[in-house]
Structure 1
Amino acid sequence: MDRATLRDAFAQTYSPPNDIDLGELLDQYRRFVDYQAEHPKAGRYKIANALGIPEGRARSWIDGGMPDVVRGIETATKHGWFQTDGETHLAVTRLVAGIFAAGSVNNVWTPRWSATDGIPVEQDLRQIGAGVKQIDRVQAERGDELEPTTHPRVLGRVLVARGAVKSRNSASTLPSYLFADQSAGRVFVKTYIQARGVTPTDRNHIQIYENKRSDTFHEELAQLVAKHVVGDVSCVKQGIILPPTTVSQTTWLDDD
């Protein structure tokens, strides 16, 4: 996954106006920026006629407006959320893992994570400049959650562009870049195991059981985990198991 591919996937999370498709909207805005740079005194009528765009759209852009998708791309770029290497990239990958394991992205693109699953969501959100707040739930069936405070909807779109799913239980596959990017794959595996792994009483293995996930998902998860641990990983019905020898030999699972 390169930055251009990631930006394109991010852009596809936006819906353009009814009269135009997304690619054409972006092309119109690029042409507007170029035209205005060459004709800084041109008014909306001249710009609209020259570019073949609605006058209202030209007026909005002259006044400093821009398509939501462009504003989103600028925001994500400024925060480094399109980076595909380095610490910000790994922090965002941990947040993607957290969505798979203990979170969701709602219908207005705001991501949330369980506040009680032992993964460093708060630390990662602060590291990438997204801020964080805790949402305290009064309903017994819902636990407290963590949510970003700075550009939450842009971050939610970035996470989905990176392969996160809006509903945790709807995931059927893992993002392909995790299998090609060694560092990203490892932090994803560690985060997922931290959030979903269970060691039964009087046992030394780690098991992950999720009855709402597909067999394909668990097969891919087992393959990804196997790339980063020392020893075997078993794919079983509704989950995976890391046997005691694998757990004991994979010392980084216990690292902070």
Structure 2
Amino acid sequence: MPSLITPKALARTYNHPSKDPWTAVELYREASKKPDDWGAQRVASAINSDQSNGFDGISRGEVRAWVDDDSKPDAARAVDVARELGWDADEWTETVRALAQLVIGIYAFGSINERHRSPSWSPDDPDSEAAIEQALEQVGVGYQHVDRDDPGQGDEIRPASHASRLGRALVVAGAPIGDKNARSVYGLPDWVDDAPMVVKVDLAVLLVRGRAITYPEKATRRIQSDRGAQYFRDVARLIEDATGATANASESGVTISADAVRELGLA
């Protein structure tokens, strides 16, 4: 399977004043290979003279902060954290499965702040809350509960650490950012179709349990919100793949059959 999160795509969620952020990460790595007692000018000259690294015309100023001040580009820090915590694995590890749940949790009852890229989730039921908490623990960031301004609403669940880095990783993996509506949510990420069945079941449960309307006198459920029609088709296909039962998409939502609800263990 391709990675949900690639280092290059994650790096490019950052800004760099003079070059592609991924190029800055590669340049930083090249500079870091040089001996610790070399100054910025010597490092820049060595990089320029090495024809195999693809860099040319690097100035002392471009590497000075990294060499002389021991700083590090934000993009490089994020890429290193993703690697250390296993976010960029190219197989369905427990951590990648947890990332997938966090992405779908954003679709169901979460959001990612446009300015800071920090994610949060506000599930209304204890099982969904526990699923998000467990996923945040599995991806290595922990979680915290934060009171929302409206006393009638439950807590927000947020990462205890690496909030912006995780949020950027989730965006790379396909999570929507900012306000969610029909103009911003077009469909589920492509990787959902190729996910193993056990992952599809987990994601379908999260969506149906956390988002669907229940009815007092019937077992069918309904997901309905301001989303694009393709999103509803994607959700219906996910539920049918996970259950082998019917889920009908329309322009305004998804009706989930009683059989599908039962197959998900929600009835």
Relative to the length of structure 2, the TM-score reads: 0.84
Shift of 1:78: 1.1
1:1-256 equivalences in 2 (<5 Å):
1-3=1-3, 6-17=6-17, 19-34=18-33, 36=34, 39-51=35-47, 52-62=57-67, 63-83=69-89, 84-106=91-113, 107-118=115-126, 119=128, 120-140=131-151, 143-167=154-178, 168-169=180-181, 170-182=184-196, 183-210=198-225, 212-248=226-262, 250=263, 252-254=264-266
Question: 2:51 is matched with which residue?
Answer: none
Cα deviation per residue 1:23-57 (whole Å; 9 max; x = unaligned)?
A: 432332233233x0xx4432112223343334333
Where has structure 1 moved over 6 Å in runs of 4 or more?
none
Partner-residue secondary structure (3-state), 2:213: coil
Q: Provide the C-alpha distance between the structure 1 equivalents of 2:201 and 2:260, rounded to a whole number of angstroms.
A: 15
Q: Provide the C-alpha distance between the structure 2 equivalents of 1:76 and 1:85, rounded to a whole number of angstroms.
A: 15
Whether contact under 8 Å (1:93, 1:187) holds in the other structure is no
Shift of 1:225: 1.5
Shift of 1:8: 2.5
Whether contact under 8 Å (1:102, 1:117) holds in the other structure is no
Relative to the length of structure 1, the TM-score reads: 0.88
Whether contact under 8 Å (2:108, 2:207) holds in the other structure is yes
Q: Provide the C-alpha distance between the structure 2 equivalents of 1:204 and 1:20, rounded to a whole number of angstroms.
A: 55
CA spacing shift, 1:89–1:5, aligned 2, 3 Å:
closer
| Residues matched between the structures, number | 248
Q: Provide the C-alpha distance between the structure 2 equivalents of 1:206 and 1:149, rounded to a whole number of angstroms.
A: 34
Q: Provide the C-alpha distance between the structure 2 equivalents of 1:175 and 1:239, rounded to a whole number of angstroms.
A: 18
Whether contact under 8 Å (1:115, 1:134) holds in the other structure is no
Letter in structure 2 aligned against 1:49: S
Alpha-carbon RMSD: 2.2
Letter in structure 1 aligned against 2:237: Q
Partner-residue secondary structure (3-state), 1:66: coil
Whether contact under 8 Å (1:90, 1:187) holds in the other structure is no
Q: Provide the C-alpha distance between the structure 2 equivalents of 1:72 and 1:181, rounded to a whole number of angstroms.
A: 25
Whether contact under 8 Å (1:116, 1:144) holds in the other structure is no
Letter in structure 2 aligned against 1:192: L
Partner-residue secondary structure (3-state), 1:32: helix
Gaps of 5+ in 1: none
Which range moves more in the overlay, 177-186 or 55-64? 55-64
Q: Provide the C-alpha distance between the structure 1 equivalents of 2:258 and 2:36, rounded to a whole number of angstroms.
A: 69
